[in-house]
Amino acid sequence: MRIITWNINSVRLREPSLLRLAKKHEPDIICLQETKCPNEAFPEKKLRGLGYTHILKNGIKGYHGVAIISRVPIVGSHQIDYCRRKDGRHLCATIKSGRRTIDIHNFYVPAGGDEADVKTNEKFAHKMSFVREMCRRLQGDAPQYALLMGDLNIAPYEHDVWSSQQLQKVVSHTPQERKALNKLLQTCDWQDVARHFVSADEKLYSWWSYRSTDWKKSDRGRRLDHLWVTKSLLKAVQGFEILKAVRGWQRPSDHVPVIMDIDI
């Protein structure tokens, strides 16, 4: 099974890129974040024509939003309104493989604004509250077979950013965010698929700012997009790749898709 997670930054604007991605890489499941689309306006027709007949949406007009697009039958689903904002940041699809029931969580964690201070920056306070609530809820579930993915908006390790020293006070790589994400990893003994395949000593990014005039040359990226599996599924993961080339497609998102092959 091939699974892709991608912060698409407007599914309607980048529908051609989504279709191109689906045709080129043939994923079984695509988890999207920042769809920026109300559920009734989600572009489904061409996706269904490619075999993605199972589509879950949790979207709102203009902002945020997540979706799960699948060729694999979805036997159950739910969404949680984290922090009671009704801002479309979570979806969970349940699939079955033999006797296994597997939950696939798709998250879009708040970006957190510009200042890493919960007292003066409400957006950062929201982000930290969101991650704490994730910890509480996921700890309570403690699933044996589960996947967690999406734009978590935190780069946890030194080489997940272009310069850890220079970004210590920049939202997405501050000590308090990194600590919070590591605590989340421990809730269900989640395994970070990227760092299972790529050494922690190697630079690895999934996001490059629109502000850079030549993102490829400067290569000042951050790894904000994640694929996690519970420990019982780690041996089933057969491949991983960050599709950096997609950042150079026409009208790109500032994030690129992250892909995983898993035998379940």
pLDDT in tens, 93-150: 999 988 889 999 999 999 999 999 999 999 999 999 999 999 999 986 667 899 999 9
How high is the pLDDT of residue 142? 64
CATH of 2-262, one of 3.40.710.10, 2.160.10.10, 3.60.10.10, 1.10.3720.10: 3.60.10.10
Contact between residue 31 and residue 89 where contact means Cβ atoms under 8 Å apart: no
How high is the pLDDT of residue 96? 93
pLDDT in tens, 150-169: 999 999 999 999 999 999 99
How high is the pLDDT of residue 98? 83
pLDDT in tens, 192-243: 999 999 999 999 999 999 998 899 999 999 999 999 999 999 999 999 999 9
Show me where the domains of the chain are located: 2-262
Q: Is the dihedral of CA 221, 3, 252, 172 positive or negative?
A: negative
Contact between residue 147 and residue 205 where contact means Cβ atoms under 8 Å apart: no
Q: Give how far Cα 149 sits from Cα of 74, 105, 107, 135, Å.
A: 17, 6, 6, 14
How high is the pLDDT of residue 232? 93
Per cent of the chain over pLDDT 90 is 94
How high is the pLDDT of residue 54? 98
Tokens of 131: 């991650």
Answer yes or no: is pLDDT of 179 > 70: yes
Q: Give how far Cα 189 sits from Cα of 39, 84, 129, 167, 177, Å.
A: 33, 27, 21, 27, 18
How high is the pLDDT of residue 141? 63
How high is the pLDDT of residue 68? 98
